A and B are shown apart, each in its own frame.
Chain A
């Protein structure tokens, strides 16, 4: 079975649109900017991947969209529009209405996301009874249907199980069932398979992909794993140090990565297929600490294509030489320019 249709980028208006979003922590005297000028859009039924390493701002962006930033964090600029509404201007009450019905979140760790002292059935039914006003019996029936839909065998009997009685894969399925229970328009999955074994991961990704198609949801999949986005997304945004550095259709991104970071990330990954290389090609150095931002392009200290201009000036996210829907935040194009220096040895 495959996990993809050859859906062309949908011409429909975006259901969720993030424009020039910034997220900062701390006060003005000691401000730490973790997300800079991030713009993203996803159309109904479309699957967008957000890829980046820890600390790149991918989760912070989505927490801001859901108005779930932890204490101390705030939106420092930009706008979030969902289904024509300005999410950042909504009252707390209206935001609760959007969460679940509009935007639903699946997090990495199902064990902490689920209440250990409540059965699966009780915690699934709670929002249905509370927000949708359905009766207990109806809610129970609906929950069993949902568990069945996400492939939990013996759904009715599982309603009485506590989270610890389920395996990791089954817990993640239950979490997905809860996320889709209010028919969201956008499903946001933040590293949904990172804690799972590889065979379970394949099943969960397949499930998310199937539900997206069957229910016509848009999907935003946040992950550090390039292999995961390759299978289930239509478009990908690559983030580094709080900024989007490249967006493209999934095919284009993997066939011709245009940002040196994307290219280096693909080159550094150990492969299950092809020739075994003698050495891996890691990216030298470390990602920058947002508390001490780097001047110019944040990737310049680790970049093998670096030029003088990269030290002082911040490149804008613009369509590259190739044109089309493939904007890149870089002064050079690794497909036309040779590296200025060899990718270094492991930096110290």
Chain B
């Protein structure tokens, strides 16, 4: 394998907590705490975690929208910091699509104007050709050309999300961060957008970071998965390996909590409970981030932070950070909770 398209190395993103009239810094929130992973060209990494896990902040950091407090990001062989200094270079490589296209599209501009503006600002095509390029972009995302004349309010949620994708594609980026792009859509429409994104990826060899809390969708779209909790990676690995045999108690708890549209499975399942609330990112505990919620925590988990590692003869790309994951009893309990009735 050649070098990956995107490489994060020990990336940390912290936000200062300010207080008082003088806005003195009294602490910091460790939103993302020393994470490293790669995304191969033309592939999708699914970044999953619950609210506050740092998944959106990671995505913003990759696009240069959040300042990195530590670590480096390599973007198609170039350093992110260098790309940021060269104005306009980063947006030409990487783009972002948000959850709510209604908030990210200008309500007073027609779709044609919105897309045309991007082409104009980045001087991607001569002014005379902008109309034709807009029509082509609408074609590419499965919208009628007449959509160019319409305003965002006249479109459905799915159509607006197609426009947001067209706007990202206008710049012909190589990498797109997709932040909860189907979460606000109805189930019957989600599939339309997911299929479109997968088609575009195959046609254009696009690289995606797919950020979501929805494990069913992430399983469908991702080549590999990164599981975040409290700003740290709990587990990551190739899709099939991770879903077939989750190593970390948190991943198992997540999988066991997803409701399955089948009453026979749903009623027979054993759920692995998450016991407390997520950790406070401004006052991180020593040891494992998941310790307070973990059903398997022992005293070692409160002292020593576990490192990401594979287990036994398992796929070496599939790693997790847990002290107890090799213990047969723990393995058995995890496998029962996340699968049991599923397989």
Contact = CB atoms under 8 A, between A and B. Distances in A.
B260 A53 contact: no
The size class of the interface chain A forms with chain B is 35 or more
A4 B267 contact: yes
Contact of B259 (A228, A250, A279, A281): A228
B201 to A, nearest CB: 12
Interface of B: 50-51, 142-144, 156, 158, 186-192, 194-196, 198, 213-217, 219-220, 239-240, 243, 253-271, 273-274, 277, 342-343
10 contacts: A4-B267, A199-B274, A202-B257, A230-B265, A254-B263, A270-B217, A279-B195, A282-B195, A346-B192, A348-B142
A4 B273 contact: no
Contact of B194 (A230, A250, A270): A270
Interface string A250-278: 11001000000000111011111100110
B187 A230 contact: no
B99 to A, nearest CB: 13
Given A230-B262, A265-B188, A282-B195, A270 B271 contact: no
Interface stretch (A80-88, A219-227, A312-320, A325-333): A219-227
A139 interface: no
A336 interface: no
Nearest to B276: A153
B144 A348 contact: yes
A272 B260 contact: yes
B260 A281 contact: no
Interface in A131-175: 167-170
Interface string A1-45: 111100000000000000000000000000000000000000000
Contact of B187 (A2, A269, A347): A269
Contact of B188 (A168, A197, A271, A283): A283
B261 A227 contact: yes
A198 B263 CA distance: 18
Which of B188, B189, B266: most chain A Cβ within 10 A?
B188
A170 to B, nearest CB: 8
B156 A286 contact: yes
B261 A346 contact: no
From B192, B217, B255, name the one whose CB has the most chain A CB atoms within 10 angstroms: B192
Nearest to A267: B191
